[in-house]
Structure 1
Amino acid sequence: MAEETDGIEEAFEGQIRVLVTAAGQVGERIARAREQARRQAQAASEQEARELQSRLAAEQRAARAEVGNVHRSDWWDRATPEQIGHTYQVARAWANEDPEAVRAEQRMKDELRTRYGVDVESTNADPAAVRAAVERAEQERAQADAERYRAAAENAEAQRLMTQADQEDRRAEEVRAAAEHEPDPQERARAAAEAVQREAAAARAGEDGRRMYDSAERRDSTARDLEAKGIDHEVVATRMRADVSQGRPATEAVKGAGKANAPKARKTRGHGVQVQRSGLDR
């Protein structure tokens, strides 16, 4: 007698078909947009090209960390459709320029075929559902881009403040050093007062700059927003580590990021898997 199911497994696999199909499309769009951004930056200026390359290098490191998970069986045992879809999206987005992404994509194709009977090249996913998933992913990408631009503006202002703090500190030292050799008591007193003022200005600018660089509130808010969308905690943690690595001033040591909590385990195929909310872009 054939074993009856409650439909959960079928729904789970249906989500995977939709999300993987949409992920492939979005990943290819991301790759094209990245290449276009490179061309535009190179045409604009060498500095803009260097800044873009630095950001893309950080994104590529984060991407490698994410796609590396697909080579672990325990990741597959716990992965939700959203995680699978997003990781496939990341692999597709980098497959044209990163061998690790190519390996991950092939591993995902093999696992999807073996575990869920999903052929990535022909998923037979519902076209309307795929279009909706692509639209959601693009909207989330736009939100992420807006957050990145806002963070870049904050970083630029923070850099200006830190530079101002350094200048004020140096000037204060120069004034104090000059005052030591000043025979006029009034001039020495004036120089000492100026040094105190400059030191206070340096402290204020430095504090404002550090607060803007390492805005815990901003990162916490971003992390909460991402997790509220159903994005896995490990993926959010990876993004926040990339944010911290790029966002801190060069004059300060980079603090180590805390370990991400492991995602809650879900039962494997055929054992009552829990269907998660659809969504792609992390």
Structure 2
Amino acid sequence: MPYFDRVSATAFRPTEHVSGGWNTAEQHIAPPMALLAHVVEQDRDARRDDGLRLARLSYDILGTLPMDTVEVEVRTVRPGRTIELVEATLHHGGRAALVLRAWLLDHRDTAAVSGTEFDAIPPAAEMPAWDPSTVWPGGYIASARARRVQTRPGRAAYWVDSPVALLDEPSGPVARAARFFDIANGMTARFAPGEVAYPNLDLTAHLFRDPVGDALGFDTRVSTGPDGAGLTHSVIHDIQGPVGTVDQIQTVRPR
């Protein structure tokens, strides 16, 4: 069973694997984020045959989503031969709940100047298994398999994969990776979620190459300010090394 069943060309029904950690009657936002990446990839491939890469994905979370069918729409904001800006919106009951703005870039040979200053993290096989469902309820977290080395609360490296596909149809490398982007906000919490609520309002991923494989690694740091805001910052990795970054701003609310 995937995260979503396709109902029509633009409608998708969440399965039990989508239920959230803050409220199991609501969708965890990670699968809807991956769904929007998927429809952007599909829209691109329907319009052109050069496979522009998704280099930046900037999501705004406009509200919660019940465990109910959602609809999506895609539009090209800034068309171009080598660079495009595409916007995808996810709706429920006529209300926009999640918006993605994605910059797409062309492929060209930069192998001679490639490199990164992001540090590597240990491979998954060198990390102990860790069950995030010991901290978080919900079908989405239960669907994830994790291995983690936590230095202290708010600082950890970990790998995540899942046997659950986004849909019963092929999806591209960024959509597959995006299944896990939003998990970072709860994988090395500075506080127990029963003591402090810290949902994120957004997520921005910058990717300097397409992810490879089905597992995604994270090197995550969590910061909390003195007046109600926090930040989860992650460098993300695949089996070949660093891929990019994911950032999430939080509203921090002691219970």
Larger Cα-atom Rg:
1
Higher helix residue share: 1
Higher strand residue share: 2
Asked whether the two chains share a fold, i.e. TM above 0.5, the reply is no
What TM-score, normalized by structure 1, do the two folds share?
Answer: 0.26
Bigger relative CO (Cα 8 Å, ≥ 6 apart): 1
